[in-house]
Amino acid sequence: MGTAPLTTAFDRAGEALAADHRLNPLTRKAYQASWARFRRYLDESDVVTTEAIDDRCLRRFLAQLSRDDQSPRSIARHVSALKRLLRFWQRLEIPFAADPLLLKAPRAPRRLPDAPDIETVTRLLEDTPATRADSQASPATREKDAIRAARDHCLFEWLYGSGLRLAELVALDITDIDLAAGQARVTGKRDKTRIVPVGREAARAMRDWLSHRRAWDRHGTPAVFISDRGRRLSARSVQLRLNRASRRAGLDAPLHPHQLRHAFATHVLESSGDLRAVQEMLGHESLTTTQIYTHLDFQHLMSVYERAHPRAARRDDHAEPPADDQG
C-alpha cells in the first residue's frame, strides 16, 4: 500500500458511503458532515496524507471538539462517523496509522426522554384545522388544505400511536400496512424490520388519509405519506408540519417528532408496566435502552403501590389512634 493523499482518500470513502444503500439518508448526511469537519481539522493541522493520521491525531481532534463546546453526545456521533471512515479506508486498502479499536467516545450522561404528557398530546391530536378553514378561499385551496390536514393528522397519530421513529414513518410504503390485521411492517435501524400494532385512532386516521391521498398520487409512488407534488414526504417536512401544528394548538412549546415516540413509550409503560413489550414495539436491541422510560413520576408510582400492595393502603389521617392497653 502506498501513500494516499487526503483528497483521494476522502473521495473514495465518499463513494463507498453513497453506495451503501442500507444506511438511513439522515445518517449518511451526518457522516458526511463529520467527515468534512475532520478534513478541515486535518488541513488546519497540515496533515496531507492518511499515513499521518495516528491515534494521537484522532485524540487531538476529539479534544478540539470538546474545546468547541461540543456535547459528549455530539462527540460520540463524530466518533461513530470516524470509525465508519476508517473501516472504509481499511476495505479500500488506504493506509493510516491509527487503531480504530482505540477510538472511544466519551460517556454521555443519560438524559430522561422529554415526553409530553397525555393532555398535551391530546390537545395536538384533537386540534382540527378544518374547523378554522378560510371561508373566503377558493374551492381548490380548501380542498388542498383538507387533504393536507388529513395527512398531517395521520402523521401525528402514527408517531404517537405506534411509536415510530421519524425515518421509519417517512419510509413507510403502502404495502407495509395491514389495517385489517391492525399492524404495520416497519424498517428500523440497520435495516431491521419489525411488526408494530396499529391502534383504533391511528387506523381511522390512515383510512381517512388514504381516501384523500389519491388526489396527490400522480406518479404511482409506493410511499404512504406524500407531498402535494406526489413525492415521498421528507423528514424535514414532517418536523415543520408538527412545529406548525403545535403552535396552532396553543402548546407551550413546539413538539419534535421524537417526543411523540417518547410519549408513546412512556404512556404505554405507565399503563402496562411491560418493559419487554415496549422494547419490542420500539425496536430497541437492548432492554437497557428501553429502561430509560421507567421514569414514572412519584405520584403514579405511589398510586400503583397503594392499589397493589396489601399493606400499603394509607390509614385515614383523621382516625383516632387505638386506645392504650390498660389491662
pLDDT at 308: 67
Q: Give residue 285's pLDDT.
A: 77
pLDDT digits (tens, 9 = 90+) for 280-326: 888 887 776 666 666 544 445 556 566 666 666 554 444 444 444 44
pLDDT attached to residue 281: 86
Q: What is the pTM of this model?
A: 0.60
At 4 the pLDDT is 72
Q: Which amino acids are annotated catalytic?
A: 165, 189, 258, 261, 284, 293
Task: State the pLDDT at residue 93.
Answer: 93
pLDDT value of position 320: 46
Q: Under a CB-based contact definition with an 8 Å cutoff, are residues 41 and 61 in contact? A: yes
Whether 189 contacts 24, CB under 8 Å: yes
Q: Report the topology of domain 6-102.
A: DNA polymerase; domain 1 (1.10.150)
- Residues 221-260 as b/e (b if ≥16 CB within 10 A, e otherwise) read bebbbbeeeeebbebeebbebbeebbeebebeeebbbbbb
pLDDT of residue 295: 56
Sign of CA dihedral 260, 262, 265, 270: negative
Which regions in the chain score pLDDT beneath 50?
1, 131, 296-299, 315-327
> In this predicted structure, what is the pLDDT of residue 130?
53
- 72-91 and 55-67 helices, crossing angle to 10°: 150
Judged by DSSP in three states, 227 sits in: coil
Domain boundaries, the chain: 6-102, 118-305
For residue range 315-325, what is the model confidence (pLDDT) as tens digits? 444 444 444 44
pLDDT for residue 286:
75
Note whether 212 and 150 are within 8 A (CB): yes
> What pLDDT was estimated at residue 326?
43
How many residues belong to the chain? Answer: 327
Contact indicator for 208, 157 with CB cutoff of 8 Å: no
Task: Report the CATH number of the 118-305 domain.
Answer: 1.10.443.10
Q: Which of 210, 213, 181 is nearest to 196 (CA)?
A: 181
Domain 6-102 and domain 118-305, same fold? Reply is: no
pLDDT at 79: 94
Nearest-angstrom CA–CA distance, 155 and 166: 10
> Which residue, among 234, 239, 235, 181, has the nearest Cα to 206 in the 3D structure?
181
CB atoms within 10 A of CB 156: 25
Which runs of consecutive H residues, i.e. helices, occur in the chain?
Answer: 6-19, 25-44, 55-67, 72-91, 118-126, 139-161, 166-171, 200-213, 235-248, 257-272, 275-282, 287-290, 298-308
